[in-house]
Amino acid sequence: MRILAIFACSALLLITVTGAKIAAFTAVDSFDFAVLGDRTGEAVEGVYEEAWRETNLDHPAFVVTVGDTIQGGNERTLDTEWEEAEAIFAPYRRFPILLTPGNHDVWSAGSARAYAKYSKRPLHYGFDYKQLHITVLDNSRTDELSNEELAFLKQDLAAHEQQPVKFIFSHRPSWILQAVLGNPAFPLHQLATRYGVKYVIAGHIHQMLHFDVDGVTYLSMASSGGHLREDKSYEHGWFFQHTLVHVKGDKVSFEIKELQKPFGKGRVSTPTDWGAAGLIRR
C-alpha cells in the first residue's frame, strides 16, 4: 500500500509539474507586446512621443523597436542624442524596452559602444517572455546579414528551440528581395523554418509591407517618427503607427494602429491587409 501511495503521489507530482509546463504554452498564458517603427531618418517632430503615448494606453508587457532611435552620424553628439531618447523612454521604463540597432544608431566602433551603453544590451541578443522568444540581430552597418549574425541566430534559436512562439527582429529588411521573389532558399529563411520561427520583422524603409514565404511572415514596419514619402499615401503603406501583438498560447495576431490625429486617422489593420505594394484589402 505504501508503494502504491508513493506511486500515486509521484504521479500527482508529475501531472502537476507537467501541467505547469503545458500551461505556460497554452491559452492559459496570454499577453500583448508592442512594436514601434523607426524614430529617426528625418524625424517628424512629436510623432515618436505620440506613438509612445498611444502604446502606453495598450498596456503592453514590453516594447520592441526596429531601430533608428537617434539621428546619429556625429560621434560628438552621441551622448546628447541618447539622453534625449532616454527622456522619451523614461515615463515608460516600468516595462522592458528592447532596442534594435539601426544604421542611424550604429555606424562606427564608437557609436556601437554608445548603443550598448544606452540600450543596456549587446548589438545582438535573445529575449524570453513566457512562451515567446525574440532574437534581435544587428545589420546596422550592412544591407546583408553577416555570417557572424547568422551563426548567432542559429546558436540562439537552437538554445531556445522549445519556445513555441519565435520572432526575429532586425533593422534593415535584409530578406526583402528574396521575400519579393518568394524564394525560400536563403540562409535566414532556412534557419527560421528549421527552428519554427513564424515572424520576421524589420524597419528602415518606413513602409508597411507584408510577405508570406513558405509559412513565415515577413513584415516591414511603417514609421513611428521617421519621415514619410510625400508622394505616397496610407494605401501605399506610408503612415505613422504603433503595433500591438497579441500572443495567446502559440497563436499570434496583430493590430497595426495608425496614429490618431494630428498624425493620422487612427485606422487599424492586420498584416493580411497588406502586400508587397501597400493595401490589398481596401
Closest listed residue to residue 240, CA positions, set 217, 201, 266, 220: 266
Query: In this structure, is residue 53 part of a structural domain?
Result: yes
Q: Chunked in runs of 10, what are the mean pLDDT values of the chain (282 residues)?
A: 37 29 53 98 96 98 98 96 97 96 98 97 97 98 97 98 97 97 97 98 98 97 95 93 97 98 97 93 66
**DSSP tag of 103:** T
1 domain-assigned: no
Predicted pLDDT of residue 176 = 97
Q: What are phi and psi of 225, to 5 degrees?
A: 170, -35
User: Does residue 5 sit within a domain?
Assistant: no
Asked whether residue 172 is assigned to any structural domain, the reply reads yes
Q: Is residue 48 part of a domain?
A: yes
Question: What gap in Å lies between CA 123 and CA 207, rounded to an integer?
Answer: 24
Q: Please give the tally of structural domains in the chain.
A: 1
pLDDT at 23: 35
Alpha carbon distance 248, 279 (integer Å): 26
Residues 6+ apart with CB under 8 A from 215: 193, 198
Instruction: Flag whether 16 is in a domain.
Output: no
Q: Is residue 2 assigned to a domain? A: no
CB 167 within 8 A of CB 135: yes
Comparing CA positions, the residue from 199, 225, 196 lying closest to residue 65 is 225
Q: Collect all residues with Cβ–Cβ distance below 8 Å to 110 and sequence separation of at least 6.
A: 75, 78
Interatomic CA distance for residues 257 and 243, integer angstroms = 6
Q: Which three cell numbers stand for residue 162?
A: 522549445
Q: Residue 270 sits in a domain of what CATH number?
A: 3.60.21.10
- Helix, coil or strand: residue 64: strand
Name, in order, each residue with C-beta under 8 angstroms of 59's C-beta and a sequence gap of 6 or more. Answer: 32
State the DSSP H helix or E strand holding residue 82, giving kind and residue range, or none if neither.
helix 78-89
246 part of a folded domain: yes
- Measured between alpha carbons, how far is residue 94 from residues 59, 129, 153, 249 in Å? 10, 15, 28, 24
SS (H, E, C) 84-96: HHHHHHHHHCCCC
Whats the size of the chain, residue-wise?
Answer: 282
Residue found under cell 503592453: 60
Q: Tally Cβ neighbours within 10 Å of residue 150.
A: 16
Full residue range of the structural domain in which residue 190 is found: 30-279
Q: What is the pLDDT of residue 12?
A: 33
